[in-house]
Each structure stands twice: as structure tokens, then as C-alpha cells.
């Protein structure tokens, strides 16, 4: 990552590298299976795969920001938010990202961007209304840690394969590419959805494992930057508690973007936690509590 004062996390770096390697290997195998299955249509498969990857990598941050209702704001429009980001960027010695606000009562924040220069940090109006200044800075430091470690870009690329698997399957079946197989039509109709399902499940599990670790990493490095783990813990507790007061319909609308958010809009219990994009609240608070003891802070 680019040099900043955020504490490096070699564990995160190794996990991102391993995830990207496995995702890349899975991607090559998946495209290879499609080419083998559709024979003469291989140029179209390569164009679709390459084109979708290009769009995902270069425009996914804008698509995600638009989907979550983020609008860029100036220092005059949001002086407190800009002021907090300015202080943290000066403390971290990193370029200031774009600053945005999403008009929703769901108390949350997220970061997007494939690099520090192209990054954006967004807070919702619900978050800004509920948090005190030190709590807000704790959340923003967490999000800036994602930008500094570039795990936002890695998560974006890692999530691409699952999207690609579904899209290519639908396009292949709808466009009649399977006609080239004639005698093997029935086999292909069964094979392609099966391969896509396997690819989706594997890529989903890989990104979820990485997502949970990167949240713990951002909690730690963000808290180390501000020197106030208790402020971030307070924000986590407050946000998680306030989620219960948000209408379920609004939470359902936000749930697809959980992997980007500071805290999940909806979190399951029991077995569903294994597939969650975030560690449990108890786990995050425990880690922050131990960090406070290490720093000698209350």
C-alpha cells in the first residue's frame, strides 16, 4: 500500500494476496470451461469476460456509490464532516478522499475506490445525527484504513467473479449459444448453471472470509491512528443498537451493500454468522477492549 501512518497489517496483505490468487485461478478455470463448452463462441466469451471485468474494476466504485445514494459534498455543505476527514488525513499523512453523504436514516458509513486518489468516504445522515465528534472520527478512521490498505479495491475485484458467473450464464442461455452443441444441448443446460453455482459459492466464501478479517484490521488500525479505541467501540455499540429502530424495509434495501458498510445493516445468528461480511459485535468490542488495555487508555 502507499505509505501512510496507518499501522501495516501483514496478515491482511497475505490474505488479500491469497484471495486474489485463488479468485484469479477460479476465474481462469471458469472462462476455460465456458470456452470448452461453447467452442465457436469463444471470442464472444472472452469479450464479455474482459469487458465486464473492465467495467467492474474501473466503474464499480461509482456504481456502488450511486446505488447507496452517496452525493459528494463540499466543505461549505458539510463543514464538520470535512473537518474530521481533514484532521484524520493529516494525522495519517494520506491524500484526502472525496467526501460524500447518503441521505438515509440507516446509521452507517462506507468507503469506495480502487486507489487513494480515486477514493470516496461517505457517511449517512443517520450516522451524522447520532454520533459525537470523537465517535464519528473513530468511524471515519476505520473507513480511511480500508482506503490506505487498498482492501476496498481487492474486495471489489474479488466479488467480480460471482457477478460474472451469473451474468454469463444468463447471457449464454438467453442468446442461444448452446445451439452449437446440438446433441449436447441437454448436458450444457445442466452443466453451465452447475459450474456457475460452484464458482459463485467458492468466490462468495473467499470474499466473506477476507471481509471479516479486513473489518477487524480496520478497527485496529483506525483505533491506533486516533489513539481512542473506546470511541470506536462506543460508535459500534450505538450504531448496532440503533439498527433495531430502523424499519426492516430500509435495512433490507441496505443489506446487499453490507460488505462495504462500517456495520452490517442486518446480521444473522447461529450458522448465518459463518457467511457474514462482518465479525460479531462482541468480537469487535473484545478486540477494541484489549487494544485499549495495551494503550493504557480507559
DSSP track, 200-231: HHHHHHHHHHHHHHHHHHHHHHHHHHHT-HHH
Instruction: Report the distance separating Cα 278 and Cα 260, nearest Å.
Output: 10
Chain centre to alpha carbon of residue 245: 24
Contacts with 212 (C-beta within 8 Å, 6 or more apart), sequence order: 276, 277, 278, 279
Instruction: Report the distance separating Cα 134 and Cα 145, nearest Å.
Output: 16
C-alpha dihedral sign at 111, 197, 36, 175:
negative
The owner of cell 474501473 is 58
Binding residues for Zn(2+): 142, 146, 215
**143 catalytic residue (yes or no):** yes
Mean pLDDT, residues 221-238 taken together: 95
The answer, yes or no, to whether residue 191 has pLDDT greater than 90, is no
Average pLDDT, the chain: 83
Instruction: Give me 102's grid cell.
Output: 447518503
pLDDT digits (tens, 9 = 90+) for 70-114: 999 999 999 999 999 999 999 999 999 999 999 999 999 999 887
Count Cβ atoms within 10 A of the Cβ of residue 248 and give its class: 0-12 exposed, 13-18 middle, 19 or more buried: exposed
Binding residues: 142, 146, 215
- 15-29, 61-75, 224-238, 257-271, range with the lowest pLDDT: 257-271
Q: What is the pTM of this model?
A: 0.85
pLDDT digits (tens, 9 = 90+) for 113-124: 877 888 999 999
pLDDT digits (tens, 9 = 90+) for 149-169: 988 888 877 766 666 666 665
Chain centre to alpha carbon of residue 129: 24
Instruction: Report the distance separating Cα 45 and Cα 169, nearest Å.
Output: 11
- Give me the percent of the chain exceeding a pLDDT of 70: 83
Helix (H, G, I), strand (E, B) or coil at 135: helix
Catalytic one of 80, 137, 143, 294: 143
The answer, yes or no, to whether residue 184 has pLDDT greater than 80, is no
pLDDT digits (tens, 9 = 90+) for 26-66: 777 777 777 776 667 778 777 877 777 777 777 777 777 88
What's the confidence (pLDDT) of residue 271? Answer: 59
What's the confidence (pLDDT) of residue 98? Answer: 94
What's the confidence (pLDDT) of residue 157? Answer: 74
What's the confidence (pLDDT) of residue 270? Answer: 57
**Nearest alpha-carbon partner for 153 in 218, 61, 71:** 61
Helix (H, G, I), strand (E, B) or coil at 160: helix
Instruction: Give me 10's grid cell.
Output: 501483514
Amino acid at each position: 500500500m502507499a505509505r501512510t501512518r496507518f499501522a501495516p497489517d501483514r496478515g491482511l496483505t497475505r490474505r488479500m494476496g491469497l484471495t486474489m490468487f485463488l479468485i484469479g485461478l477460479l476465474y481462469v478455470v471458469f472462462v476455460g470451461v465456458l470456452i470448452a463448452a461453447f467452442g465457436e463462441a469463444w471470442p464472444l466469451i472472452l469479450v464479455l469476460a474482459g469487458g465486464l471485468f473492465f467495467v467492474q474494476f474501473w466503474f464499480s466504485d461509482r456504481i456502488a456509490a450511486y446505488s447507496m445514494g452517496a452525493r459528494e459534498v463540499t466543505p461549505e455543505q458539510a463543514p464538520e464532516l470535512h473537518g474530521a476527514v481533514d484532521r484524520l488525513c493529516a494525522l495519517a499523512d494520506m491524500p484526502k478522499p472525496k467526501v460524500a453523504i447518503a441521505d438515509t436514516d440507516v446509521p452507517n458509513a462506507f468507503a469506495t475506490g480502487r486507489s487513494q486518489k480515486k477514493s470516496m468516504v461517505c457517511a449517512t445522515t443517520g450516522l451524522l445525527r447520532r454520533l459525537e465528534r470523537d465517535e464519528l472520527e473513530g468511524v471515519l478512521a476505520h473507513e480511511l484504513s480500508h482506503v490506505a490498505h487498498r482492501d476496498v479495491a481487492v474486495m471489489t475485484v474479488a466479488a467480480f467473479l460471482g457477478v460474472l458467473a451469473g451474468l454469463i450464464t444468463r447471457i449464454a442461455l438467453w442468446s442461444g449459444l448452446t445451439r452449437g452443441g446440438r446433441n449436447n444441448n441437454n448436458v450444457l443446460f445442466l452443466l453451465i448453471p452447475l459450474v456457475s453455482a460452484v464458482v459463485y459459492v467458492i468466490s462468495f466464501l473467499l470474499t466473506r472470509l477476507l471481509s471479516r478479517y479486513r473489518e477487524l484490521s480496520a478497527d485496529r488500525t483506525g483505533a491506533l491512528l486516533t489513539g481512542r479505541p473506546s470511541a470506536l467501540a462506543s460508535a459500534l455499540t450505538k450504531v448496532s443498537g440503533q439498527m433495531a429502530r430502523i424499519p426492516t424495509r430500509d435495512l433490507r434495501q441496505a443489506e446487499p451493500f453490507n460488505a462495504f458498510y462500517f456495520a452490517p445493516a442486518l446480521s444473522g445468528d447461529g450458522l448465518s454468522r459463518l457467511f457474514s461480511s462482518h465479525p460479531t459485535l462482541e468480537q469487535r468490542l473484545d478486540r477494541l477492549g484489549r487494544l485499549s488495555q495495551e494503550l493504557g487508555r480507559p
